Structure 1
Amino acid sequence: MSAVMITRKVRKWEKLPGKNTFCCDGRVMMARQKGVFYLTLFLIIGTCSLFFAFECPYLAVHLSPAIPVFAAVLFLFVMAMLLRTSFSDPGVLPRALPEEATFIEMEIEAANGNVPAGQRPPPRIRNVQINNQIVKLKYCYTCKIFRPPRASHCSICDNCVDRFDHHCPWVGNCVGKRNYRYFYLFTLSLSLLTIYIFTFDIVHVAMRSVDSGFLNTLKETPGTVLEVLVCFFTLWSVVGLTGFHTYLISLNQTTNEDIKGSWSGKNRVQNPYSHKNIIKNCCEVLCGPTYPSVLDRRGLMQEDSSVSTCADPTSSSTSTSSSSSGGNNTVSQTTHAILCLQKPTAPLIPNEHTPDDAKPSIAASAEKSSSPKEEHPPATKVPPLASPETDAETSIAKDKTH
């Protein structure tokens, strides 16, 4: 038996560490917890479907046909921003290779020196200067890298994300450097859509109540009542979230930095990333360049796997005859290994179950195992001693003959 290494090419997303889910051959990247994301889709699609089914036909006739058209455009924009936020790479940083991690560990040990037993080693940090201000880069023990400025490790996705804002279960993904603007546009457009539907629900009920009364209108349009309730409870959270992120964008700050108080603590350290101008901060966050993904999740990598094979004595003769005849008899190594495993082997001691073609080989191997040159002469054969039962039977036979 021998092991043969087989190399095959696989996509990098199949071997990437972390707790992400990939679909469409690595094009779609999400977190594993997607239950709340499906709830978000259900609420948006369900509420808009009720609005198009109950209110739009009446409002298009009695007010303006532009009402359902604008609602449809706003709905499509909301869905596009939601899917763009949920299915994109938020800015995941690749982990260090084993060689890189070993080199970094050696650098840290050389810088810290020998730490006496019982003492805590110093924190693994590096200092960089940004806008004449010192910013500390922390070491990630999971990814084995010094995180860039404003990056943080997401405990849910188990990845370091550049310019990490927060992990949003409503979109089923982290919000970071590459999808923050789409997240903000999603919350802003969803707020407008919620206000739009809620407003025209009230208008629809008011216009119908003129003719048939308020209570009769509620009985005739149960879908409108359900839409009003959903929009009422959704409006406060969505609009409040949009206002909070508008405040953060104006300061060029992230949710993670605001929660930790990175720039508003006791030390009163100023934000080195702020331009001290609301318009400039908004332009940088919303209109800045689109950063490419550094993950290369759809790239190709080689994977080595070992396959056990056995040496076939007829393979040499087969290869010789095939080479002399000019033929190319190419057999896959995997198939050859399976055939070798299925080939029966003869037992060491022949018995009634041993095939006839296997017995001569066993006898030949036994003859080969015995040495032809023996120093001692062969032992004389001694007849076996007769057993007591055999002696008794012999004596009885003699008595009968006499």
Structure 2
Amino acid sequence: MSAVMITRKVRKWEKLPGKNTFCCDGRVMMARQKGVFYLTLFLIIGTCSLFFAFECPYLAVHLSPAIPVFAVLLFLFVMAMLLRTSFSDPGVLPRALPEEATFIEMEIEAANGNVPAGQRPPPRIRNVQINNQIVKLKYCYTCKIFRPPRASHCSICDNCVDRFDHHCPWVGNCVGKRNYRYFYLFTLSLSLLTIYIFTFDIVHVVMRKYQTHRCIVWPASPETGFTVLEVLVCFFTLWSVVGLTGFHTYLISLNQTTNEDIKGSWSGKNRVQNPYSHKNIIKNCCEVLCGPTYPSVLDRRGLMQDISPVSATSATLSSSSSVNPVPQTTKTTAPLIPNEHTPDDAKPNIAASVQASPSPKEEHPSASKLPPLASPETDVETSIAKDKTH
């Protein structure tokens, strides 16, 4: 059975390897594990909704109408930075094509030479010099490439990410070169929003309990339970979010990533200096937060040709059945010409079928024009009549 190759055009994101999910025709790129990301949305939207519904109306009337306005702006900024971090390409590096991978393997084998049996081959490492500092480029056995400086392979998304910081389940994506600044702005604005809501929740409780010029105990109501719930959520969120923001502020001031800090790349026994640091906090912050926005190298929405094999027999049968349907035929149990093996009850039926079928002479168009032939009885009568006359 032969196969027919059918070519069709598809988007490149449909054929990208790895463990990412795509939405909106490749415009949205996230990790497959998004359960914690939905929890983040629920906590932020739920807490802010309770604050807008119960605290803001009272504070706008008794304190200032600018309080809910500023809270809405801060909430919108937090959501924009969260979605920008979660839905963008963090800096995924494309994998090597089969031809490129074969060429790299040949170069590695030529450089290493023949390795004796039983010995482990040397590690696949290339040395480059950055700011008078030797940096090692490691080979990725999954992507078949030598990773650029500061890149690492994410085991969750199964992709190499440029300037890999960490994989954050709270945003449902990796944090890398293309979305790190948005992640930092998200944590910073979320810290401010949490402090803002927590502060005005306490103010609301105090103002409702002690009214102006008189001391009136605040009666128990459903609003009390929601306010206490907001205070608890903000209290436990405050420590983690503010602590995370402070930690990344420290990393930005050193121009360092979380992955490098955990591995101790620039603070190990050798005391190797960070070649990416400018030895100035302001310059490091400007490079990380105000540097150029790098385009994605994946070209997710580009077109490519997808070649899929299809069996030729099925393709021929489907095309013939759709164009020229095959008529159904019936099988006869008796042969067309009777012989000694033909049963007697089948012979009359065959004879009847032969008599019923038109002969070739009757079907010939010139047969109707010929005169009828005279029978032998008619010839005898005409001869007797001639003898009487004579």
Using structure 1 for the length normalisation, give the TM-score.
0.74
**2:256 alignment partner, SS class:** coil
Query: Which digits, 9 at most, give the CA deviation of each residue in 1:238-269, with x for residues without a partner?
Result: 00000000000000000000000000000000
1:270 to 269, 273, 279: 273
Query: Which digits, 9 at most, give the CA deviation of each residue in 1:88-115, with x for residues without a partner?
Result: 0000000000000000000000000010
Taking a change above 3 Å as real, the CA distance of residues 98 and 66 of structure 1, as seen in their structure-2 partners, is same
Partner of 1:332: 327
Query: Which digits, 9 at most, give the CA deviation of each residue in 1:107-160, with x for residues without a partner?
Result: 000000010011111000000000001000000000000000000000000000
Taking a change above 3 Å as real, the CA distance of residues 362 and 14 of structure 1, as seen in their structure-2 partners, is farther
Structure 1 CA distance for aligned equivalents of residues 155 and 383 of structure 2: 96
Residue 364 of structure 1 deviates from its aligned partner by 25
Residue 3 of structure 1 deviates from its aligned partner by 3.7
Taking a change above 3 Å as real, the CA distance of residues 254 and 314 of structure 1, as seen in their structure-2 partners, is closer
Using structure 2 for the length normalisation, give the TM-score.
0.76
Q: CA RMSD in A?
A: 13.9
Query: Which digits, 9 at most, give the CA deviation of each residue in 1:34-72, with x for residues without a partner?
Result: 000000000000000000000000000000000000000
**2:378 alignment partner, SS class:** helix
Residue 222 of structure 1 deviates from its aligned partner by 1.3
Taking a change above 3 Å as real, the CA distance of residues 363 and 68 of structure 1, as seen in their structure-2 partners, is farther
Query: Which digits, 9 at most, give the CA deviation of each residue in 1:195-214, with x for residues without a partner?
Result: 000000000000011049xx
Structure 2 CA distance for aligned equivalents of residues 245 and 359 of structure 1: 101
Q: Mean alpha-carbon deviation: is it higher for 360-369 or for 269-278? A: 360-369
Answer whether contact 2:25 2:301 (CA < 8 A) is retained. yes
Residue 21 of structure 1 deviates from its aligned partner by 0.4
Answer whether contact 1:322 1:329 (CA < 8 A) is retained. no
Q: Which runs of 5+ in 1 are unaligned?
A: 213-219, 303-311, 336-342
Structure 2 CA distance for aligned equivalents of residues 122 and 365 of structure 1: 89
Residue 297 of structure 1 deviates from its aligned partner by 1.1
Structure 2 CA distance for aligned equivalents of residues 359 and 2 of structure 1: 48
Residue 313 of structure 1 deviates from its aligned partner by 25
Residue 27 of structure 1 deviates from its aligned partner by 0.4
Structure 2 CA distance for aligned equivalents of residues 227 and 116 of structure 1: 67
**1:73 alignment partner, SS class:** helix
Answer whether contact 2:3 2:309 (CA < 8 A) is retained. no
Residue 83 of structure 1 deviates from its aligned partner by 0.1
Taking a change above 3 Å as real, the CA distance of residues 24 and 320 of structure 1, as seen in their structure-2 partners, is closer
Taking a change above 3 Å as real, the CA distance of residues 334 and 236 of structure 1, as seen in their structure-2 partners, is farther
Taking a change above 3 Å as real, the CA distance of residues 391 and 331 of structure 1, as seen in their structure-2 partners, is closer
Partner of 1:249: 252
Structure 2 CA distance for aligned equivalents of residues 108 and 313 of structure 1: 34
Structure 1 CA distance for aligned equivalents of residues 274 and 131 of structure 2: 10
Taking a change above 3 Å as real, the CA distance of residues 329 and 118 of structure 1, as seen in their structure-2 partners, is same
**1:314 alignment partner, SS class:** strand
Taking a change above 3 Å as real, the CA distance of residues 317 and 114 of structure 1, as seen in their structure-2 partners, is closer
Q: Which runs of 4 or more aligned residues in structure 1 lie more than 6 Å from their structure 2 counterparts after TM superposition?
A: 312-325, 327-335, 343-402
Taking a change above 3 Å as real, the CA distance of residues 62 and 369 of structure 1, as seen in their structure-2 partners, is same
